[in-house]
Chain A
Amino acid sequence: MVTGRLQASTSVTTDPETGSAGVLLEATGLTRHFRIGGPFSGRFLHAVDDMDLTIRQNEIVALVGESGSGKSTVARLLAMLYRPTAGSIAYRGRPLGSMRSRREILSYHGRVPMVFQDPYSSLSPVYRISHGLERAFKLHRPELSSEQRQEEAERLLSSVGLTPPSEVLHKYPYELSGGQRQRVGFAQALACRPELILADEPVSMLDVSIRIGLLNLMAELRRRERVSVLYITHDIASARYVADRLLVMYAGHLVESGPAEDVLSHPKHPYTQLLLSAVPDPRAPIALTGRAEVGEPPRVVDPRPGCRFRFRCPYAIDECSRVTPRLRLLRQAHTAACHVATSDLDMPEQEGLP
C-alpha cells in the first residue's frame, strides 16, 4: 500500500519541458526609463522598453544580451527593487503594483529572491554563513523552531554542494572561494522556499573551471527543488547549456524569444545571428571570416522610433528607421522583432535570413 503510493507520487514529477505550464510571473509592456543629466535635463535613458515576458513553473529561462542592453534592469524590476515607468508585472495573476502591505511584499521577496553577480560584495564580511540563512528563516519561515532551522540550514548547504555543512555554517565569507560564496548565495535564496530565483550573471565573476559547477547546480535545483530560474547572462553558450527558453535583448528591447535549441539553430533576428557568430568556440571550424564589426552599442537616450539595431544591421530597410518592429511568431513558439525576418511557419523548408 505504502510503497504503491510512493511510486505514484514519484511518477508525478513530470518532465519539466512537457510538464504543466502554470504561469508564475508575467510582465506586460514592461518599461523603465532613467532620468539622466540632472533633474531638469528632460533627458531619459530607456533601459527597458515595452517588454513582455512570461516565466512558467519549473522552467529555466535565460535572458541574454550585451552590457547595457537592460537585462539587469529587468531583473531589478522583477525583484521589485525598481518600479516600472510603465507596464505591469503579475505574480500568479496578482499585479505587483497592488501589493501594499509589508507582509505581502516580504512574502513576494521570499518567493522571488535574487542571486547577485558579485559573490565578493553580496555577502557581509562580518557575519558567519549561518547568519544569512538564519535571517531568511526568521523573516520568511517564522514557524521553524531553532533545531529545525539548524537542520534546514545544513540541508540547504549540502543541497548546494557545500560540505560538510555543519562546518561551512560557522565560516566567514573570506574563508570561502568565489564559487563557494556563490553557492551560499543560492542557499540563501533557497532558504525562503522560492518559486523563482532571479540570477543576475551568477557565474560571470567566477573562474572558467568553477562556472560549469554552478550551471549544473541551477539545473539540479530546478529538478530537485522544483524552482524556476531566470538566468541573466551575456554568455549565450552557457544560456544554451542550462535554459529551456532564450530571451535575447538588445538596447532595451526584447528582440527574440523561443526554445533554446531552436533559437540557436534558427536565429531569426540579425542581432542574434551576429551574437552567435561572435562566440569564441574552439570547436568551431576555423573561421576568421567574420568581418571586423565596428558597430557600436546604440544610444538609448531619448531614442527615436524604429529598430534599435538598424545602424548595425546588414539587412536594414527604410521601414526599420520608421517603425519599431513588434515580436512576430516566425516558428513554433519562436518570435523575433524584425521587419525583414521571414516566417518558417507556412514554408517549413525555407530557412530564415541568409
Chain B
Amino acid sequence: MVEYAAASGPVRAVDRVSLTLAPGEFLAIVGESGCGKSSLLFAIAQLLSPPAEIVSGSVRFLGQDMVTLADEDLRHLRWRSYSVVMQSAMNALNPVMTIGEQLRDATLAHEAMPGRMLRRRSEEVMRLVGIDPVHLQSYPHQLSGGMRQRAMIAMALLFTPQLVIMDEPTSALDVVAQRSLMIQIKALQREFGFAVLFVTHDMSLVSHFSDRLAVMYAGQLVELGGTRQVFKDSLHPYTVGLMQSFPSIIGERQVLQGIPGTPPDLARPPAGCRFHPRCPHVMPVCRVEESPVFTRSDDLVRCHLYANGHGPIASIHQRHD
C-alpha cells in the first residue's frame, strides 16, 4: 500500500497490490494516468520520497524484504541487482555531462573499478544497445530521442542486473523508434535473462512482448494474466473497455465506444467497486461493496461478476487478502 500525504488526508495511490515476478519474466503493468502504476514501480524500486510512503506491505527481492532493508544493504542491491530506466531520457540524463561520464559515475557509485576496465565496460554496453561507442563523448542533446533512451538502457545494463524496471521508456518516441526499441529490449532480455517490469499506458505496445499483463485501475490491480490470454479473453469490464478503446489498422473499420466517464480522483474514490460508475455491467452490489479478488491458477480478477464461480469462466475461486 502506498499513500501520499496531502492536506486533505492521505491519498492511497497503490492499494493492496500483490504481484510476483519470476526470473527472466517480462511483466507489463498497464493503466491510465493516475492509476498508481508509477507509484507501484517506485515503491518496488524503493525510490519513493515524501510525501509518498509505503504504509504497509512488503517487497521481497532475492529473498530479502526491501522495505525494511537498511540503506547500506539497499545500496548494495541497487544497480547491481536491479536497475531502473526512467520515462523521459532527456530529464533523466544530465545535460552537462557526456554519456561516458555518466556511465562512469553510475559504475563508480556502486563499485570501484580501474579506468581501463570501466572504459571497456562502457563501450560494451553501448554496443549492446546498438549505439556506436564514439557517442560516449557525446552530450545528451547531441543524440536523438531513441538513442538517448537506448543510452539509458545501456546504463541500466552496466552490472547485468537480474531485474530491470522500466517506466514508460518508449512514450516519448514515435511508433517506428518505439517498435525498434521494444525489439531491442526483448533481444537483450533473451540474451542476458534479466526480468523486466514494464509500466505503460499503452497496452497494445506490449501485446507482442510481455509474458504477463497486469491491469491497474484507481490504485488497484483489477486483472492479471498471460498477455495473449488477457487480450483474447479479457475478464474485467475495464480491460474489456480498454480493448474497445483503440482503433485498429487491420480489418473492417468499426465504431468504437471507449469507456464513458473519467477515472476517479484517488483522494475520493467511489464507494464499492472503483470502476462501478463507468461499468456497463454494474450490479447493486458493486455500488456498496468492493469486489474480492478471484483467482485461477496465476490469473486474477477483481470483479463481482465472478462471484460464486459465476461468470464466463468456471473454476475461479476467491482469494482472501
Contact = CB atoms under 8 A, between A and B. Distances in A.
A276 B249 contact: yes
Interface of B: 32-33, 130, 144-147, 174-180, 183-184, 186-187, 201-208, 231, 241-251, 253, 255-260, 262-263
A244 to B, nearest CB: 11
Contact of A296 (B144, B206, B256): B144
Contact of B208 (A238, A286, A293): A286
A212 B245 contact: yes
Nearest to A284: B250
A294 B130 contact: yes
B208 A209 contact: no
B22 to A, nearest CB: 21
A210 B258 CA distance: 6
Contacts of B246: 208, 211-212, 237-238
A241 B257 contact: no
Interface string A210-237: 1111011000000000000000001111
B262 A297 contact: no
A280 B175 contact: yes
A277 B178 CA distance: 12
Given A238-B247, A290-B179, 7 more contacts: A67-B145, A180-B262, A210-B258, A211-B245, A241-B253, A261-B253, A278-B180
Contact of B174 (A66, A215, A276, A281): A66
A295 B144 CA distance: 11
A229 to B, nearest CB: 16
Contacts, number: 128
A209 B248 contact: no
18 contacts: A207-B32, A209-B32, A209-B242, A211-B245, A211-B246, A212-B247, A237-B248, A240-B249, A241-B253, A261-B253, A279-B249, A280-B202, A282-B203, A282-B207, A282-B231, A283-B251, A288-B208, A293-B176
A177 interface: yes
What is the size category of the interface that chain A forms with chain B?
A: 35 or more
A107 B174 CA distance: 36
A66 B250 contact: no
Given A237-B247, A292-B187, A279 B175 contact: yes
Contacts of A241: 247, 253, 256
A93 B205 CA distance: 44
The 4 closest A-B pairs by CB, nearest first: A212-B258, A282-B207, A66-B174, A241-B247
Interface in A301-335: none
A313 to B, nearest CB: 13
A208 B208 contact: no
Given A278-B176, A290-B183, A292-B180, A209 B245 contact: yes
A209 B205 CA distance: 15
A172 B174 CA distance: 33
Contacts of A294: 130, 180
A287 interface: yes
B250 A283 contact: yes
Most B Cβ at <10 Å: residue of A241, A282, A290 = A282
Most A Cβ at <10 Å: residue of B176, B179, B241, B251 = B176
Contacts of A202: none
A101 B246 CA distance: 44
B174 to A, nearest CB: 4
B236 to A, nearest CB: 13
Contacts of B147: 296
Residues of B contacting A: mostly = loop
A287 B208 contact: yes
A146 B130 CA distance: 64
A208 B242 contact: yes
B321 to A, nearest CB: 26
Most B Cβ at <10 Å: residue of A208, A287, A296 = A208
Nearest to A69: B174
B204 A297 contact: no
A209 B202 CA distance: 10
A353 interface: no
A264 interface: yes
A66 B180 CA distance: 14
A277 B257 CA distance: 25
A208 B248 contact: no
A107 B245 CA distance: 37
A275 interface: yes
Contacts of A281: 204, 207, 248-250
A274 interface: yes
Contact of A264 (B179, B249, B256, B263): B249
A280 B205 contact: yes
B131 to A, nearest CB: 9
Contact of A212 (B177, B183, B208, B257): B257
A210 B32 CA distance: 10
Contacts of B251: 283
Interface string A55-73: 0000000000011000000
A299 B174 CA distance: 16
A208 B32 contact: yes
